[in-house]
Chains A and B, each alone.
Chain A
Amino acid sequence: MTVTPAAATPIVRLENVGKRYGKVVSLKEVTLEIGPNEIVGLIGDNGAGKSTLIKVLTGVEPPTSGTLYVRGQRIDAASYSVKEAHKLRIETVYQDSSLGEKQPLWRNFFVGRPITNRFGFIDVKAEKRIAEAIMRSTIGFRGVGLDVDTPVSRLSGGERQGVAIGRAMHFDSDLIVLDEPTVALALKEVQKVLDFIRSIKAGGRSCIYIEHNIHHVHEVCDRLVVLDRGEIALDAPTSSMTYQELADFLMSLHHRRPVAAS
Chain B
Amino acid sequence: MAHADKAPSNPVAGFFKIEGTAIALVFVLLVILFMLTAPRAFLGYRVYMSFMATVPPPMIIALGLTLVVVAGEMDLSFPSVVAFASYVFCQLYQSYDLTWLALVAALVTGTVMGFINGLVVTKLGIPSLIATLGMLFLWGGLVTVVSNGASLAIPDIEGRLIHTVLAGRIGVIPVQFLWALAVAVVVWLILNRHRFGESLLFIGDNLKVAKVVGIAIDREKIKLFTLMGLLSALAGVFLTLETTTYFSQAGMGYLLTVVAAVFIGGTSIFGGAGKVVGTVFGALIVAIIEAGLVASGVAGFWTRFYIGLVFIVSVTMNAAIEDPDKVPLLRQLRSRARN
Contacts and interface: CB of A to CB of B under 8 A. Distances in A.
A14 interface: no
Nearest to B208: A97
Interface of B: 2-4, 7, 189, 193-196, 198, 201-202, 205-206, 208-215, 268, 272-273
A5 interface: no
Interface stretch (A40-48, A151-159, A189-197): A151-159
Contacts of B214: 81-83, 86, 112-113
A83 B241 CA distance: 46
Interface size class of A (residues with CB under 8 A): 20 to 34
Contact of A101 (B196, B215, B272): B272
B3 A154 contact: yes
Contacts of A30: none
A60 B209 CA distance: 11
Contact of B202 (A58, A111, A113): A111
7 contacts: A82-B214, A101-B272, A103-B201, A122-B194, A122-B195, A145-B4, A155-B2
Interface of A: 58, 60, 81-83, 86, 92, 94, 97-103, 107, 111-114, 116, 120-122, 124, 145, 153-157
Given A97-B209, A100-B272, A122-B198, 6 more contacts: A98-B209, A100-B202, A102-B273, A107-B202, A116-B195, A154-B4
A111 B198 contact: yes
A157 B210 CA distance: 19
Contacts of A155: 2, 4
Contacts of A86: 214
B46 to A, nearest CB: 40
A103 B3 CA distance: 15
B195 A101 contact: no
Contacts of B194: 120-122
B209 A102 contact: no
A13 B74 CA distance: 43
A82 B212 contact: yes
Contacts of A113: 214
Contact of A103 (B2, B4, B196, B202): B202
Contacts of A92: 212
A160 to B, nearest CB: 8
B206 A145 contact: no
A124 B195 CA distance: 11
A101 B201 contact: no
